[in-house]
Amino acid sequence: MSHDYSKKPEALSRLTEDQYRVTQQDRTEPPFRNEYWDHHEPGLYVDVVSGQPLFSSTDKYDSGTGWPSFTKPIVPAAVRMKTDRSLGMTRTEVRSAGADSHLGHVFDDGPADAGGQRYCMNSAALRFVPVADLEAEGYGGYRVLFDPDAKETSS
């Protein structure tokens, strides 16, 4: 089943000021003062604008930076990279593939045994979906990420 994860005006109108500032104006929230930096519940992190599944708690780790950090996206095609030359430096910006939301940046200082990447994301760009709510929210096909014996379903 195909999903439309594009940016829609009604989705933008539901964003908080911080969510809009981060996702649409390419800003960054403060470290250690955001919703998911120290969040450990199993589930999915989806684009707050479109609902596109982006990251799994199974790939989340404590980077010590004060932002939620992941070793990889659920699928590489969920995100796209863009060169960011703001703030007098060159970094690699991470944006959602569907809605083009600014998510954060990727760095090469992640855990070596997990590929060496640190996807340093803004909590304001994400919405968390607990494992218990995956089916109810239309993400049942992702249960297999948390329970390898789960039957894959299309959702």
Pick the CATH number of 9-132 from 3.40.630.30, 2.170.150.20, 2.40.110.10, 1.10.3720.10: 2.170.150.20
Beta pairing, strands 118-121 & 69-70:
antiparallel
Q: What percent of the chain has pLDDT over 90?
A: 89
pLDDT over 50 at 155, yes or no:
no
4: confidence class by pLDDT, cuts 50, 70, 90:
confident
pLDDT over 80 at 101, yes or no:
yes
Q: Give the global pTM.
A: 0.93
Catalytic residue among 54, 78, 106, 120: 120
pLDDT over 50 at 94, yes or no:
yes
pLDDT over 60 at 70, yes or no:
yes
120 is catalytic: yes
